[in-house]
Amino acid sequence: MTTIQDIKTLLETYFRPVELIGPGDTVITGPAKIEEAGAGQVSFVANEKYFRFLDEAHASLLIVHSDAPVSSNDGGRSFLKVKDPYTAFVFVLQRFAGTRQVAAAGIAHSACVASTATLGRNVSIGEHAIIGERCVVGDDTIIGPNAVLMHDVTVGNGCTLYPQVTCYDGTLIGNRVIIHSGTVIGADGFGFAPQQDGSYIKIPQMGTVEIEDDVEIGANTTIDRATMGRTLISRGAKIDNLVQIAHNCQIGNDTVIAAQAGISGSVRIGRQCLIGGQAGFAGHLELADRTSVAAKAGISKSVTQPGQAIRGVPAQPMREQLRQEALVRGLGAMKQKLDELESQLRDLRRQDT
């Protein structure tokens, strides 16, 4: 049983100060979206523009920004004021989140674990999972049912690989990494040498994929191994579903890549970038730190100055692209004016002659 006071105490382990307005002894049964929350539930308002929802919200507890215009004389509801209500609510969600069991503790009866594999303490290996020769699985790591680690794969501590994940040979995964179902790590890069008769010879893909700590990768994403060397996903990067990351790419720390984006071979993306959904990169580019790429952008050349926003196909700085889009939308008016000038000029010339 969790009271408002308990939630205040929880938040105080992360934030100071946490100001309680209203009663603290109400029991909270769970979180909800602000428009759906009712009695006994907790919700939040992070953004000034949602303050208008405050009046009609029926949650028993609302987590709000320190500056929110709320006071104690509010019929039965309570407020917790913090400096970052969004993150505070994440901690509340974690408090109420049920336990998801990806695989039962221990090694499932039907899992195939190679005799040369090394398993840490408190490892869970799901039914029909396959752990290949010389694999290493760290402490507290969960390998979901039907997941496949080919040979020589190393997975760190505290990781979760969901059902049906595949890691090709040699993949190296850090600690606290989460990989969702259907994702394929380390398949061959797409490399073929063209021959004179129009056919292709496969270029052996001898490199690996290395995924650093605290990375999360969505479902049905593909990250190819390097031709030589490694494809690198750096610490803290977050990658959504159905993303393609080609051979020899490097993705920087804490960079976020939205669904269906495609990163061609040997692209180097900096730290703390934001890559929009369905964006695509030509090969061998560099993207400076903190670049923000709009959804559906097509990046055809490197971005060297950090902190820019880019957009369009081919992508250019946001401001230029928006101006260009406005000019294109104004083409009808421009054409009309041109026709008018032509007609006026014709009149003038007629007068002149």
* Contacting a copy of itself within 44-83 (CB under 8 A): none
Contacts with a copy of itself by CB under 8 A: the residue count is 114
- Residue type, position 6, single letter: D
d(Cα 269, Cα 255) in Å, to the nearest integer? 8
φ, ψ at 225 (rounded to 5°): -70, 160
Stretch that binds a copy of itself, among 54-62, 65-73, 135-143, 212-220 (CB under 8 A): 212-220
Which residues does 229 contact at the CB level (< 8 Å), separation at least 6? 207, 248
**Using CB under 8 A, which residues numbered 164 to 193 contact a copy of itself?**
164, 166, 168-169, 178, 180-184, 187-188, 190, 192-193
Cα within 13 Å of Cα(256), Cβ side = 10
Question: Is residue 31 part of the contact set for a copy of itself (CB under 8 A)?
Answer: yes
d(Cα 145, Cα 132) in Å, to the nearest integer? 15
Question: Is residue 230 part of the contact set for a copy of itself (CB under 8 A)?
Answer: no
Residue with tokens 């903190």: 290
Q: Which CB sits closer to a copy of itself, 22 or 262?
A: 262
Question: Is residue 256 part of the contact set for a copy of itself (CB under 8 A)?
Answer: yes
Q: Which CB sits closer to a copy of itself, 138 or 170?
A: 170
Cis peptide bond prior to 17, omega within 30° of 0 = yes
8 Å CB contact between 209 and 226: yes
Whether residue 180 lies in the annotated active site: no
Question: Is residue 335 part of the contact set for a copy of itself (CB under 8 A)?
Answer: yes
In the DSSP assignment, the letter for residue 303 is: B
Question: Is residue 39 part of the contact set for a copy of itself (CB under 8 A)?
Answer: no
Question: Is residue 284 part of the contact set for a copy of itself (CB under 8 A)?
Answer: no
Stretch that binds a copy of itself, among 16-24, 55-63, 117-125, 271-279 (CB under 8 A): 271-279
d(Cα 124, Cα 248) in Å, to the nearest integer? 31
Shortest spacing between CB 4 and a copy of itself, in angstroms? 19
Buried b vs exposed e over 146-156: b needs ≥16 C-beta within 10 Å?
A: bbbbbebbbbb
Question: Is residue 313 part of the contact set for a copy of itself (CB under 8 A)?
Answer: yes
8 Å CB contact between 157 and 120: yes
Q: Which CB sits closer to a copy of itself, 10 or 219?
A: 219
Q: Which CB sits closer to a copy of itself, 12 or 342?
A: 342
Stretch that binds a copy of itself, among 60-68, 71-79, 116-124, 233-241 (CB under 8 A): 233-241
Instruction: Enumerate the active-site residues.
Output: 247
